[in-house]
Amino acid sequence: MSRDLRITRLTVREYEWKMPDLGVDYNGFNTVFERGSTARQTGHVLTVETAAGITGEYAGGTSVSYAQLGMVAGYLIGKDALARELIWNDLKRALRKHDRFGMGPIDIALWDIAGKAYGAPVYELLGGFRTRLPAYASTYHGDENGGLSSPEAFADFAVQCRDMGYPAFKIHGWGHGPIEREAAAVLATRQAVGPEMDLMIDPACEYDTFADALKVGRACDEAGYFWYEDPYKDGGVSSFAHRKLRQLIRTPLLLGEHVRGLEPHVDQIVADGTDYVRADADYDGGITGVMKLAHAAEGFGLDCEIHAPGPAHRHCMAAVRNTNYYELGLVAPGLDPKRVHCPLYADDFADDLDSVDGDGCVPVPQGPGLGVTLNWDWIRAHETSAVVYD
Ligand SMILES: [Mg+2]
């Protein structure tokens, strides 16, 4: 290829929008259903421009990611955008004192450039395995506001999702209050949907004690859960604790969402700290990082489950054999998904409750790069700041 793909400019745009009928939970950390309330959300779009005029675009990342981008932008200007592996390794070293969140958005934007340069969707460059992705409905956290406020509410919503075609459903429970309510939601949901649907629960590291984690784990055993994710307040990082938990329950554990990068994930596998391996392009060094994790897990004979929805994750999942479900969320009953999830993309992409087909699958974007069209009119209308590096 003769085109000059040296990086010439990076721009981070921040935008803000309001989501109706959502509020926050008891400590303000979880977004939950609350009729009549409005949740203010912030998002980011990174663009990476090249000398040849091909621009990589990625909508995602956090303010932490982009603080780290500022630390490495000078290094990136002038680099060959196709030298992803070199850039990935240099940034890994440069950001070693931090959580390396800055690597993800950059790497994803570079894959978008590569796809556009080669005229192919990213998943084909990675190695295509599938073009339809079975999804699970991943709920908002339990609330006290008449939405997902009881075990029966989770059970009813799981039935609704099953009837829409979803093959799997994941509970994000309340995380506080009586642990018996969490266990009751596990059992009531299985009771309601019958034996076929795969069920998961993700307390998102919120149970106070190992004993509480064990109680809910035993309910998962009784109800035949597919996985039990990040149970309690070790923060999802203690391999020793989860090895002990694995000795006491039968339900497979999914840990690793809060273990950063390739080597610590492998250490967690070797220490028997998890059954499924978690990967996230925003958290683990982009598409390059997710693929390294997926292949590392493959070498151990394990499955790699990709966290959260989005175009980059659809491409990764489409190129990985050893994986099961696309996380479609967050979702809750009684919300208008079209109003909650902002119109970030043109009509070619959405991660709404009703984005699945009758078999509960979502498609893989087929256009070059990430294969999605950003809704720039909407982004510009909601932009609150822009930072340019050139
Ligand atoms: Mg999780």
Q: What's 18's domain CATH number?
A: 3.30.390.10
Q: Which of 212, 316, 233, 325 is nearest to 276 (CA)?
A: 325
- In whole angstroms, give the CA distance from residue 276 to residue 302: 6
Domain assignment present for residue 51? The answer is: yes
Band the pLDDT of 341: cuts 50, 70, 90.
confident
Q: What is the pLDDT of residues 287-310, one digit of tens each?
A: 999 999 999 999 999 999 999 999
- Shared-domain flag, residues 352 and 295: yes
Whether 39 and 142 map to the same domain: the answer is no
> Order of strands, edge to edge, in the sheet holding 55-59?
55-59, 31-50, 7-24, 383-389
Distance 170 CA to ligand 1 centre (A): 10
pLDDT at 2 > cutoff 90: no
Three-class SS state of 224: coil
Question: How far is ligand 1, taken at its centre, from the CA of residue 271, in Å?
Answer: 20
Q: Which residues of 352-381 are buried (b: 16+ CB within 10 A; e: fewer)?
A: ebebbeeebbbbbbebbbbbbebbeebbee
Distance 54 CA to ligand 1 centre (A): 35
Q: How far is the CA of 58 from the centre of ligand 1 (A)?
A: 22
Residue 382 clears pLDDT 70, i.e. is over it: yes
Q: Are residues 356 and 321 in the same domain?
A: yes
Same domain as 188, residue 46 = no
Gap between the Cα atoms of 166 and 231, Å rounded:
24
Range of weakest confidence among 19-33, 133-147, 371-385? 19-33
Ligand 1 centroid – CA 72 distance (Å): 29
- Give the CATH number of the domain where residue 241 resides: 3.20.20.120
Distance 82 CA to ligand 1 centre (A): 32
Query: Is 201 within the bounds of a domain?
Result: yes
Looking at the domain assignment, is residue 2 inside a domain? no
Q: Averaged over 80-99, what is the pLDDT?
A: 98
Q: Mean pLDDT, the chain, as a whole number? A: 97
Q: How far is the CA of 124 from the centre of ligand 1 (A)?
A: 28
Asked if the structure places residue 21 within a domain, the reply is yes
DSSP state of 330: E
**Co-location of 255 and 113 in the same domain:** no
* Residue 1 located in a structural domain: no
Does 36 lie in the same domain as 156? Answer: no
Calculate how far, in angstroms, residue 256's C-alpha sits from the geometric centre of ligand 1. 9
Tell me what the mean pLDDT of segment 276-283 comes to.
98
Q: Round to whole Å and give the CA distance between 384 and 376.
A: 14
**pLDDT value for 345:** 95
Q: Position of tokens 């506001």?
A: 145
Measure 86 CA to ligand 1 centroid, in angstroms: 30
Ligand 1 center–CA 237 separation, angstroms: 13
Q: Is 221 among the domain residues?
A: yes
**Cis before 76? omega within 30:** no
Distance from the alpha carbon of residue 258 to the mean position of ligand 1, in angstroms:
9
Q: How confident is the model at residue 168 (pLDDT cuts 50, 70, 90)?
A: very high
State the Cα–Cα distance between residues 168 and 134, nearest whole angstrom. Answer: 8
**Residue 257 Cα, ligand 1 centroid: separation in angstroms?**
6
Is residue 338 over pLDDT 80? no
Ligand 1 centroid–CA 369 distance in Å is 27
Percent of the chain whose predicted confidence (pLDDT) is above 70: 99
Residue 237: inside a domain, yes or no? yes
Residue 244: closest CA among 201, 213, 207: 213
Domain encompassing residue 255: 125-363
- Reduced to 3 states (helix: H, G, I; strand: E, B; else coil), residue 47 is strand
Q: Is residue 135 domain-shared with residue 113, that is, in the same domain?
A: no
Cα separations in angstroms, 78 against 56, 153, 155, 157, 179: 15, 54, 54, 51, 54
Domain-embedded: residue 390? no
Kindly state the average pLDDT of the residues 330-356: 90
Element (H, E) at 156: helix 151-164
- 42/129 same-domain check: no
- The alpha carbon of 181 and the centre of ligand 1 are apart by a number of angstroms equal to 19
**Predicted local distance difference test score (pLDDT) of residue 1:** 57
229 Cα to the center of ligand 1, angstroms: 6
pLDDT score recorded for residue 339: 78
Number of structural domains, the chain? 2
Q: Who surrounds ion ligand 1 at CB < 5 A?
A: 202, 257
- Is residue 355 located within the same domain as residue 375? no
User: What is the structure's pLDDT at 254?
Assistant: 98
Kindly state whether residues 200 and 58 are assigned to the same domain. no
| C-alpha–C-alpha distance, residues 156 and 148, integer Å | 9
Same domain, 112 and 135: no
What percentage of the chain exceeds 90 in pLDDT? Answer: 96
Whole-model pTM? Answer: 0.97
- pLDDT at res. 348: 86
Residues 40 and 384 sit within 8 Å (Cβ to Cβ): no
122 CA from centroid of ligand 1 (Å): 25
Distance (angstroms) between ligand 1 centre and the Cα of 308 equals 8
Q: What is the mean pLDDT of residues 19-30?
A: 92
Query: Range with the lowest mean pLDDT among 8-12, 99-103, 344-348?
Result: 344-348
Find the 226 Cα to ligand 1 centroid distance in Å: 14
Based on the domain organization, do 130 and 115 belong to the same domain?
no
